[in-house]
Amino acid sequence: MRDKALPEDEVMRILEETRAHDYNYDRFFSTMCSLPHPIAIRAHDMFLETNLGDPGLFPGVAELEERVVQMLGELLGCPGASGYVSTGGTESNIQAIRAARNEAGRKDGNIVVPASAHFSFDKIGDLLCLEVRKAELDENLRVDLSSVESLLDEKTVAMVGIAGTTEFGQVDPIEELAGMAQERGIHLHVDAAFGGFVLPFLDRKFAWDFSVPAVSSITIDPHKMGMSTIPAGGLLFRSPQCLNALETETYYLTKARQASLTGTRSGAAAASTYAVMMHLGREGFKKMVGYCMDLTDYLVAGAREIGIEPLIEPVMNVVALKVPSPGKVREELMERDWHVSMTREPNRALRLILMRHMTKENIDLFLKDLQATVIL
């Protein structure tokens, strides 16, 4: 740290200069985040210094958080759900599995997740000392049920299904997983970090949320398709006991017990999520999701015209495109300031997410560059 103070202007100049090194959202196909809705930014700023880690001091924002949990519960088929606004999908997944493990009362357990699971589950295995068993995928890139069945045993503390896989946007057969979970009395966690704000607004309907009786917990991220500011995650439990299984005593704070993973946590995310959900309503989200799906269809049609096929017919606004040497194609595209990502082996492909910041004009430009790059 410097010894002497630096005038505000000087500091701001450095910040602006450095900020200019960041790339712009309008060239991003690789991220599940997007520009927050303007009202989310306003709410975020208004609640910036509030601390939900000590809710007795900030009962106002604590109330907003409760209302967010209730709205999310309604959206996901369980108006009485318990939960909280986390920092994102990773924290929500950690906490869901931690609650399941605590409820099962085992420290030497395992969890069974699809091979398509987000890497947060590898962190979970390490943090919670659980063995992470990965079930194979079927030809549609959904988890294979017989593979899941073969991995379950008496030490399994949780099963995971994904509603909107990070790489393919695919939805696992949640009802069938729920059947297995119910039969064996295992906690079923549904990771809808991305899909949570997509699936309720699609014309095509899936059974994946709390309306499926054996679903015990759900991860849903407002900072992905929820148009909220970062860091806004959501964790919901069907039963309040599950949330209780996460609580520790806090000794010196205004509330005697705390269930969140982080201690100090800004209320800005809760306020921002509340503001967007209230302002847009289901109507507004349906429109936004419709826009993203329209972009998705447009991209896939354009890709097919230049001879490029998707790995699966897109279910949501995530597309995996089959191209020869995707790693090389990706690098070439990066040089043209297009940011795309890749899926893992054995289904290596270019991965694109069509978020609300994308436009058809930019998709046209991108497809031209993609065509030139693939021929190279």
Ligand X SMILES: *Cc1c(COP(=O)(O)O)cnc(C)c1O
Question: If you compute the radius of gyration of the chain from its CA atoms, what whole number of angstroms results?
Answer: 21
Minimum CB separation from ligand X for residue 119, in Å?
8
Record the tokens describing residue 264, joined without a space.
């100090």
Q: Which CB sits closer to ligand X, 225 or 367?
A: 225
Q: Is 172 in the site for ligand X (CB under 6 A)?
A: no
Minimum CB separation from ligand X for residue 170, in Å?
10
Instruction: Sort 118 into a burial class: Cβ within 10 Å, 0-12 / 13-18 / 19+.
Output: buried
Helix-helix angle 360-375:326-335, to 10 degrees: 120
Encoded one letter per residue, x for contact with ligand X by CB under 6 A and - for no contact, window 134-163 reads: ----------------------------x-
Minimum CB separation from ligand X for residue 212, in Å?
18
Q: Which CB sits closer to ligand X, 230 or 253?
A: 230
First-to-final CA distance of the chain = 48
Count how many residues are written for the chain. Answer: 376
Widest Cα–Cα separation across the chain:
67
Among 36, 222, 233, 302, binds ligand X (CB under 6 A): 233
Site for ligand X in 265-324 (CB under 6 A): none
Q: Which stretch binds ligand X (CB under 6 A): 52-60, 77-85, 187-195, 283-291?
A: 187-195
Alpha-carbon span 236 to 224, nearest angstrom: 16
Q: Is 196 in the site for ligand X (CB under 6 A)?
A: no
Q: Which CB sits closer to ligand X, 82 or 87?
A: 87
Site for ligand X in 33-92 (CB under 6 A): 88-90
Minimum CB separation from ligand X for residue 198, in Å?
11
Q: Which CB sits closer to ligand X, 33 or 259?
A: 33
Q: Is 167 in the site for ligand X (CB under 6 A)?
A: no
Among 44, 98, 101, 118, binds ligand X (CB under 6 A): 118
Encoded one letter per residue, x for contact with ligand X by CB under 6 A and - for no contact, window 87-116 reads: -xxx--x-----------------------
Among 61, 134, 221, 343, binds ligand X (CB under 6 A): 221
Q: Which CB sits closer to ligand X, 173 or 233?
A: 233
Q: Which CB sits closer to ligand X, 50 or 341?
A: 341
- Give residue 18's region: left, alpha or beta (phi > 0; psi -120 to 50): alpha
Q: Which CB sits closer to ligand X, 52 or 94?
A: 94
Alpha-carbon span 248 to 246, nearest angstrom: 7
DSSP readout, 79-98?
TT-EEEEESSHHHHHHHHHH
Q: Indicate the pairing of strand 350-353 with strand 215-220.
A: unpaired
Neighbouring C-alpha atoms within 13 Å toward the C-beta of 125: 15
Alpha-carbon span 64 to 62, nearest angstrom: 5
Number of residues that bind ligand X (CB under 6 A): 14
Among 30, 95, 120, 228, binds ligand X (CB under 6 A): 120
- Closest to 231 in 3D by CA, of 218, 222, 242: 222
Q: Is 209 in the site for ligand X (CB under 6 A)?
A: no
* Residue number closest to ligand X, CB atom: 89
CA distances from 199 to 194, 207, 365 (A): 9, 10, 29
222 upstream amide cis, omega within 30 of 0:
no
Q: Is 32 in the site for ligand X (CB under 6 A)?
A: yes
Q: Is 356 in the site for ligand X (CB under 6 A)?
A: no
Q: Which CB sits closer to ligand X, 54 or 65?
A: 65
Contacts of 50 (CB under 8 A, 6+ apart): 58, 60, 61, 266, 267, 268, 271
Binding residues for ligand X, per CB under 6 A?
32, 88-90, 93, 118, 120, 162, 166, 191, 193-194, 221, 233
